[in-house]
Chains A and B, each alone.
Chain A
Amino acid sequence: MSEITVDGEPLPFVEGQTVAAALVAAGRVAWRSTRVGHRPRGVFCGIGVCFDCLLTIDGTGGQRACLVPARPGMTVTTREDDDE
């Protein structure tokens, strides 16, 4: 199994999975909070339409976890205000 780094912690994934699939496989369905109500959000539509699963990948914010394939060594940060 390969690994990405999520908020400093290693996260294993199966080659071919998206970042969202890797997170969900590890039991995480939320990794962001909303601007107004600070509600937890994660994957919802799973196909790039709803933008609920935003996170930061290799320093670039606003990435849809459900669309970006995980790659070994990728650095992911969550919990920042990714919808700003």
Chain B
Amino acid sequence: MNEPADLVVVGAGPAGLAATATALSGGLRVVLVDSGTTVGGQYWRHPPEHARAAIATGDLHHGLRTYRALCRALAAHRAAGRLDLLLGHHAWSAVREGDGFAVHAVDRRDAPRETTVVLRAPRLLVATGAYDRQLPFPGWDLPGVLTAGGLQALLKGGGVAAGSRVALGGTGPFLLPVAAGLAARGVEVVAVCEAAHPRAWLRHPVPLLRNPGKWAEGAGYAATLARHRVPVRPRTAIVAAEGGARVSAVRIASLAPDGSPRPGTERRVEVDAVGVGWGFTPQLDLLVPLGCALTESADGNAVAAVDADQRTTVPGLYTAGETCGVGGAALAVNEGRLAARSVLADSGTDPAPANRPPTALRSAVARQRAFARAMALAHPVPPAWPEWLTDGTVVCRCEEVTAGAVRAARADGAHDHRQVKQLTRAGMGWCQGRMCGPAVHCLTARGRAYEPAERLVATPVTLGALADLDEGPQTPQTPQSPRAAQSPRAAQAQQAPTDNGHTDKECS
């Protein structure tokens, strides 16, 4: 694509794909950037194109008809030179530049080599999705304990099951497709421990009745799980994992309604892998530094505030999918379409008549958001989960900060995850609080929405890549030798000031 782009889309999951297809069909020139080796994001994660014959994953997916239609639309526009698809590119920063935006990315297609790229356009659409929300428990840092999404990613992306006898735990409907996928690959799923009780759904009958597609999907998983005799145990939780070099067993307890383990119900089950997830945390790293206003979502997360047509509070900046509230792929697709229509309207381009009228899209989005809200309320993080922790339980995996240390910080007056970070280093390591942030927040500031720390660098970049920028960024830049680049650790240490005004460098 030689002409300047009208729109940069970050993230090629359901929301980003749909937004890109709609924007292209309206005549815009689009740059779509994603860190993966192929489009689809986490929901439609696939092996790279050339590997699909060797790694069959088609049966693990839902909604593939939509996925294939979006892929076909993108391929046609790409062939016509209207779409620049940049896979294997990690966006690490987005900034205002003149009347538009500059997205800084590193091309890691030839990893560990890195090449810097700057993508510019008058409008930016961020569709960076979400990752599993984690709650620590004794033994959760043992090898073989993964996030539920991690188990799914290995299965969908690489055709690999991480164990042969697996227990799943946490809350939310996402545990079901993970269990069904593992069972379909011959893994013995010994239990799906769901902290919530299905009765909780009955408090929200209207959104349930108005989203029959979700029922059908759920029924499909239930049938698969029944066929493989996978027990789904409501109101239970994996409260501990045991093992040495690898997890060898989990302790499962029945839960009281507040989530505290019922005394005397604990039992030990032998496993060689575990998957845990407590809903999702939206990936807001590119949005927060741009000054985008946040709002509270029913699942306890702060999410990007958007108007009825997916505009953020920053002119020219749009977002769709889990970044404005976790709600699943079908909602993300509709939000992506809606966001792209706003881009078209704001660019003075009439949307192509083939697209659905926005009133229908808006009502679909409203219906699906009501379902997402019901889902969040039916699958809360149980208030008493900290009872599972011992003082020695690691909370921050990177810096190995224990629950005892976090509690001591709270006793010393720390009342949010930022202050705990200053006192204990929790959230200061490689992952920058992405894994422990929600948990530390729960331990200190329960009752408020979890707002992640502002991270000015969304993924570690080498000093070499940053040095290239000083010489005046080009699109793209000349590849550099990996030997010339300094270690990513050194570069990460250079991450710019955090919310508390200190750099992480001084604490590394």
- Chain A residues with CB under 8 Å of chain B are 14-18, 20-22, 24-25, 29-30, 34-37, 39-52, 54, 57-63, 66-69, 83-84
Q: Which of these, B37, B397, B483, contacts A52 with CB under 8 Å?
A: B397
Q: Are B143 and A29 in contact (CB under 8 A)?
A: yes
Give the number of A-B contacts (CB < 8 Å): 150
Contact of B288 with A by CB under 8 A: no
Q: Are B434 and A50 in contact (CB under 8 A)?
A: yes
Contact of B35 with A by CB under 8 A: yes
Task: Name which of B49-57, B330-338, B415-423 contacts chain A.
Answer: B49-57
Knowing A21-B154, A49-B131 are in contact, say whether A37-B400 is a contact too (CB < 8 A): yes
- Minimum CB–CB distance from A40 to chain B (whole Å) comes to 5
Q: Are B482 and A58 in contact (CB under 8 A)?
A: yes
Q: Are B435 and A49 in contact (CB under 8 A)?
A: yes
Q: Are A44 and B147 in contact (CB under 8 A)?
A: yes
Cα of A46 to Cα of B155 in the assembled complex, Å: 10
Contact of B404 with A by CB under 8 A: no
Q: Are B460 and A62 in contact (CB under 8 A)?
A: yes
Task: Name which of B116-124, B157-165, B207-215 contacts chain A.
Answer: B157-165
- Minimum CB–CB distance from B54 to chain A (whole Å) comes to 5
Knowing A17-B160, A45-B131, A45-B147 are in contact, say whether A60-B485 is a contact too (CB < 8 A): yes
CB contacts (< 8 Å) of A45 on chain B: these are 131-132, 146-147, 149-150, 435
- Minimum CB–CB distance from A26 to chain B (whole Å) comes to 10
| Additional 12 contacts, C-beta under 8 A, given A18-B157, A50-B397, A63-B488 | A14-B159, A25-B160, A30-B245, A35-B400, A36-B400, A45-B146, A61-B489, A62-B460, A62-B487, A67-B108, A68-B112, A83-B398
Contact of B220 with A by CB under 8 A: no
Cα of A51 to Cα of B489 in the assembled complex, Å: 11
Q: Are A49 and B141 in contact (CB under 8 A)?
A: no
23 pairs from A and B in contact (CB 8 Å cutoff) = A15-B51, A16-B47, A16-B55, A16-B158, A18-B158, A24-B162, A25-B160, A36-B400, A39-B141, A40-B142, A40-B245, A44-B145, A45-B150, A46-B147, A50-B435, A51-B430, A58-B482, A60-B112, A62-B488, A62-B489, A66-B153, A68-B112, A83-B489
Cα of A48 to Cα of B485 in the assembled complex, Å: 21
Knowing A14-B51, A15-B50 are in contact, say whether A21-B157 is a contact too (CB < 8 A): yes
CB contacts (< 8 Å) of B260 on chain A: these are none
Q: Are A21 and B431 in contact (CB under 8 A)?
A: no
Knowing A29-B246, A62-B489 are in contact, say whether A48-B35 is a contact too (CB < 8 A): yes
Cα of A22 to Cα of B162 in the assembled complex, Å: 11
Q: Are A15 and B245 in contact (CB under 8 A)?
A: no
The 7 residue pairs across chains A and B that have the minimum distance between CB atoms: A16-B51, A21-B158, A46-B150, A30-B143, A51-B430, A60-B112, A62-B488
- Minimum CB–CB distance from B242 to chain A (whole Å) comes to 14
Q: Are A43 and B482 in contact (CB under 8 A)?
A: no
Q: Are B160 and A24 in contact (CB under 8 A)?
A: yes
Give the interface centre of A22, A52, A54 by most chain B CB atoms within 10 Å: A52
CB contacts (< 8 Å) of B245 on chain A: these are 30, 40
Contact of B42 with A by CB under 8 A: yes
Q: Are A43 and B157 in contact (CB under 8 A)?
A: no
Contact of B507 with A by CB under 8 A: no
The 0/1 profile, CB within 8 Å of A marked 1, for residues 128-156 of chain B is 00011000000001111111011111100
The 0/1 profile, CB within 8 Å of A marked 1, for residues 26-55 of chain B is 000000000101000010000110111011
CB contacts (< 8 Å) of B131 on chain A: these are 45, 47, 49
CB contacts (< 8 Å) of A43 on chain B: these are 146, 150, 154, 162
Q: Which of these, A46, A57, A61, contacts B146 with CB under 8 Å?
A: A46
- Minimum CB–CB distance from B228 to chain A (whole Å) comes to 21
Cα of A67 to Cα of B150 in the assembled complex, Å: 12
- Minimum CB–CB distance from A12 to chain B (whole Å) comes to 12
CB contacts (< 8 Å) of B146 on chain A: these are 43-46
Knowing A29-B246, A52-B397 are in contact, say whether A46-B159 is a contact too (CB < 8 A): no
Cα of A61 to Cα of B270 in the assembled complex, Å: 35
Q: Which of these, B35, B112, B151, contacts A58 with CB under 8 Å?
A: B112
Considering the complex, which residues of chain B in the window 262-310 have a beta carbon less than 8 Å from any beta carbon of chain A?
273
CB contacts (< 8 Å) of A25 on chain B: these are 158, 160
Q: Are A46 and B151 in contact (CB under 8 A)?
A: yes
Considering the complex, which residues of chain B in the window 41-91 have a beta carbon less than 8 Å from any beta carbon of chain A?
42, 47-48, 50-52, 54-55
Q: Are B430 and A21 in contact (CB under 8 A)?
A: no
Q: For B132, give the chain A residue with the smallest CB separation.
A: A45
Q: Are B158 and A17 in contact (CB under 8 A)?
A: yes
Q: Are B35 and A21 in contact (CB under 8 A)?
A: no
CB contacts (< 8 Å) of A46 on chain B: these are 146-147, 149-154
Cα of A39 to Cα of B431 in the assembled complex, Å: 17
- Minimum CB–CB distance from A75 to chain B (whole Å) comes to 11
Cα of A47 to Cα of B162 in the assembled complex, Å: 14
Cα of A62 to Cα of B463 in the assembled complex, Å: 13
Q: Which of these, A15, A29, A67, contacts B273 with CB under 8 Å?
A: A29
